Amino acid sequence: MVLKTFNVQEVVYKKFSNFCKGHGVSMSKQVEMFMESMVEDEPKAKQEYLEKLDRIRKGRFMRIKSLADRYGLKE
């Protein structure tokens, strides 16, 4: 474990400190997890999700102006 110093705006620090205290979590651990998430390889699940979204975007859809008209819901 190493000790590092970072410059952070005081207002941001106080908000984050209060957040961590309120949720009973370690500020250091939260910063470490953030750093890990920034440098780790992209998870496979995320790539699969993005591919699924792309397939959905390219899908065939029917344009419907009004569901009420389309399905006879008007009274």
Q: The tokens 């998430």 sit on which residue?
A: 37
Is residue 23, in this structure, part of any structural domain at all? Answer: yes
d(CA 29, CA 12) in angstroms, rounded, equals 17
Is residue 54, in this structure, part of any structural domain at all? Answer: yes
Q: pLDDT grade, residue 43 (50/70/90)?
A: low
Is residue 30, in this structure, part of any structural domain at all? Answer: yes
Is residue 18, in this structure, part of any structural domain at all? Answer: yes
Contacts of 26 (CB under 8 A, 6+ apart): 20
Q: Give the count of domains, the chain.
A: 1
Mean pLDDT confidence for 14-22: 93
Is residue 19, in this structure, part of any structural domain at all? Answer: yes
Residue 75 has pLDDT above 70, yes or no: no
Per-residue pLDDT at 69: 86
pTM score > 0.75 for this model?
Answer: no
Is residue 3, in this structure, part of any structural domain at all? Answer: no
Per-position DSSP letters for 7-59, written without gaps between them: ---HHHHHHHHHHHHHHT--HHHHHHHHHHHHHSPPPHHHHHHHHHHHHHHTS
Is residue 4, in this structure, part of any structural domain at all? Answer: no
Q: Which domain holds residue 37?
A: 10-71
- Highest mean pLDDT range out of 1-5, 18-22, 64-68, 70-74? 18-22
